[in-house]
Amino acid sequence: MPDATSEIARLRAALAASEARAETAENELAQARAVVSTSEAMIKHLKLEIAKLRREQYGHSSERRARLIDQMELQLEELEAAATEDELAAEKAAKTTSVAGFQRRRPVRKPFPEHLPRERVVIEAPSSCACCGSERIVKMGEDVTETLEVIPRRWKVIQTVREKFTCRHCETISQPPAPFHATPRGWAGPNLLATILFEKFGQHQPLNRQAERYAREGVDLSLSTLADQVGACAAALEPIHALIRNHVLQAERLHGDDTTVPLLAKGGTRTARLWTYVRDDRPFAGGAPPAAVFHFSRDREMTHPNRHLAGWQGILQADAYGGYNDLYRGDRDPGPASSALCWSHARRKFFELADIKENARKKKPAHDISPVALEAVKRIDAIFDIEREINGLDAGSRLEVRQLRSRPLVDDLHDWMHSERDTMSKHNPVAKAITYMFKKDRWEAFTRFLDDGRICLTNNAAERALRGVALGRKSWLFAGSERGGDRAAFMYSLIVTAKMNDVDPQAWLADVLARLPEITASRVPDLLPWNWQSSERSKAA
C-alpha cells in the first residue's frame, strides 16, 4: 500500500512538471512569434524608407518605382497589424506587458493637433476618502487621457479627466480608476476604429489611402499607426468572430463558394482563394439569424474545405467543384455531407449559348444562337418561377408545392435533355452543358431540393456574400500577405454578417468596440448583430 501511494505521488509530480514545461513552451513560442512579427515589420519599414529616399534622390519620373512603394506600404500595413496581434497574444500568454529580451519599437504618434476641439468628460469624483471614509478631501490635481475620436466629417479629441483628491485627515490620495479602452493604449476612440476597419474591409480603401485623406483633413496619422490599431481590433473582436463561426457551423444546411484573390508573392502575385460558408434559413422560414464566415488560403486544394468544415455534417449547397468531394464520402467522420448543386450554374451554361442580346452585341450571326439551349433556359425558368412563389414559406409547404408542381417539370426536363443529347456530337457546346448536369451522380444532387423543403434551388446566398470581394479587388489590388488574407477573411465575416442582418456594419463595430472592454463573457452574445441594440437604444429602453 505505501508503494502504491508513493507511486501515485510520483506520477502527480511528473504530471505537474510536464504541465509546467508545456506552459513555459507555449509562452516562449508566443514571445518568439511576437519577436519575429515585429522584426519583419521593422525590416519592411526600413526598406520602405530606403525606397522613398531613393525616389527622392533620383526623381519622381519612375512610375514602376512608385508602384513598388505602394506594394511595400501594403506589406508594411499587414506586418504591423500582424505584429500587434502576436504581441497581444504573447502578453496574454506570459501575463506581462513586454516580450522577454525584446522591446518592440512602437510607431511614434505625434501630439493631437491643437485646432481640434476638446470635449472634457469628467469622471465623478469621490465624496469621501477611499482609505478612512473622511469627507475632508481636497482636489490636488488631475490626470487627463486624450483619445482621438471621429464624427463623420468632424474630428475631435475627447479628454477623459480623472481628478485627484487628497484627504486632509490621513493625507491619502483618492482618484477614480482609469477607464477601459477598445484597444491597448486607447488613443483611438471606437468610432475612429470602426471607420478605419469599415473603410479598409467594407469600402476597400487601403490604409495608405486613408492616411492620405486624414492628412488632407488636418490629422496626421501614419500608416504604421493605423495598421497597429487594425491588428489590435482584430484581437479585440475575436470573441465575436468565434460566436459567429460557431453559429454558422451549427446549421443543418450551408451555402459554400469561393473566389480568387491576388496574393502578393516574390516576383509578382499568385492566385489565392477566399472561401465563404453562409447560413441563411430565411427562404424556408427557419428562424435562425443569417450569418457568414470567411476563410483565406493560398490555393484551391480540397484540404481547405475539409479543414473549414471539420466536424460539420449537413447539406452543402455549392457548385460542382471537385474539392468538396471528400465531404461527401461515406466513411467521413462524423458522417457524409449531402450535396445540393446550384441550378443557376447549370442554367448559366445554357444561357450563354442562347443569349440573343450578347450575340448581337458581339455581332455574331443569328444561327449561332442554339434553339436547344434557348428551350432549356425556358424550361429551367419555369422551375425558378415556382421557387419565387414559395420563397419564405416553411419547409413543409415548400416541399408540398415542389412535389406537386416542380417534380413533373424536372422529370420532363430530364427526359428531354437525354433525348436531345443523343442526337448531338459530344463536342457540341449544348451537349457539354447537358453532360454537366448528368455527370456521375450530379443529377441526384441537382434534384435533392425536390425531397427537402429546406434546400434552395441556387447557391446565390454564397455568391451574394462574395460580391463585395469581387467589387473590391480592383481597389485593393492584392492581399499583402497570408496573414493579411486571414485578417481580411476575419473582418469580412463580421461585416457581411452585419449586412445580412440589416445592421449598419460601421455603427455596429463602433458600439461593439466601445462596450467590449467592460462587458462580461456571458453578455458577449448580446453584441452579435442579430441580438445587438445600440447603446442609445439600450439606454432609452
- The confidence score (pLDDT) of residue 366 equals 47
The confidence score (pLDDT) of residue 474 equals 62
Query: What pLDDT does residue 394 have?
Result: 95
Is the separation of the CB atoms in 225 and 106 below 8 Å?
A: no
Write the CB contacts of 352 (distance below 8 Å, at least 6 apart in sequence).
358
As given in the structure block, the three cell numbers for residue 286 are 427557419
pLDDT of residue 125: 87
What pLDDT shows up at residue 95?
59
In the DSSP assignment, the letter for residue 250 is T
User: Is the pTM value of this prediction over 0.75?
Assistant: yes
pLDDT of residue 257: 95
Per-residue pLDDT band at 535 (split at 50, 70, 90) = low
Taken in order 477, 483, 488, 493, is the CA torsion positive or negative?
positive
Report percent pLDDT > 90 for the chain.
Answer: 50
7 Cβ neighbours under 8 A, 6+ residues apart: none
Residue 100 reports pLDDT greater than 50: no
Q: Note if the bond before 334 is cis, omega within 30 degrees.
A: yes
Give the whole-angstrom CA distance, residue 275 versus residue 296: 6
Q: What mean pLDDT do residues 81-102 have? A: 67
Q: Cβ distance 479 to 272 under 8 Å?
A: yes
All three cell numbers of 466, joined, read: 462574395
What the block records as the C-alpha cell of 250 is 451549427
Q: Is 335 helix (H, G, I), strand (E, B) or coil?
A: coil
* Span 227-257, pLDDT tens digits: 999 999 999 999 999 999 999 999 999 999 9
Mean pLDDT of 498-523: 94
User: 282: burial class by Cβ within 10 Å (0-12, 13-18, 19+)?
Assistant: middle
Contact 293, 277 (CB under 8 A): yes
Distances (CA, A) of 329 to 302, 304, 306, 308: 13, 16, 11, 16
Residue 541 has pLDDT above 60, yes or no: no
| CA proximity to 506, closest of 480, 464, 534 | 534
Contact 454, 252 (CB under 8 A): yes
Rounded mean pLDDT, 435-463: 94
The pLDDT of residue 536 is above 70 = no
* Average pLDDT for 72-80: 71
Q: Kindly state the cell numbers that stand for 516.
A: 467590449
pLDDT in tens, 127-165: 889 889 898 888 889 998 888 988 767 899 999 899 999
Residue with cell 448559366: 348
**Lowest-confidence pick of 94-98, 444-448, 486-490:** 94-98
Higher pLDDT, 82 or 488: 488
**pLDDT of 416 over the 90 cut:** yes
**How many other CB atoms are found less than 10 A from the CB of residue 400?**
14
Sequence letter at residue 58: Y
Q: pLDDT at position 533, please? A: 86
Decide if 257 contacts 466 (C-beta within 8 A): yes
Q: In the predicted model, what is the mean pLDDT of the chain?
A: 85
Query: What per-residue confidence (pLDDT) applies to 356?
Result: 53
Encoded amino acid at 271, one letter: T
Name the one residue in this structure whose C-alpha cell is 476575419: 490
According to DSSP, residue 541 is labeled -
Gap between the Cα atoms of 406 and 415, Å rounded: 15
Q: What are phi and psi of 268, to 5 degrees?
A: 155, -145
Average pLDDT over residues 50-72: 58
Q: Which helix (H) or strand (E) holds 241?
A: helix 238-249
Q: Where are the domains of the chain?
A: 20-94, 118-236+503-540, 248-340+459-502, 343-456
Categorize the per-residue pLDDT at 497 as very low, low, confident or very high, splitting at 50, 70 and 90: very high
How does residue 396 score in pLDDT terms, banded at 50, 70 and 90?
Answer: very high
Q: Which amino acid is at 528?
A: L
- Residue partners of 62: CB distance under 8 A and separation at least 6: 55
- 219 vs 222: CA distance, rounded Å: 10
Q: Write the pLDDT tens digit of every residue in 308-362.
A: 999 999 999 999 999 999 999 999 988 999 999 999 999 999 988 876 545 544 5
Q: What per-residue confidence (pLDDT) applies to 476?
A: 56
205 pLDDT band, cuts 50/70/90, is confident
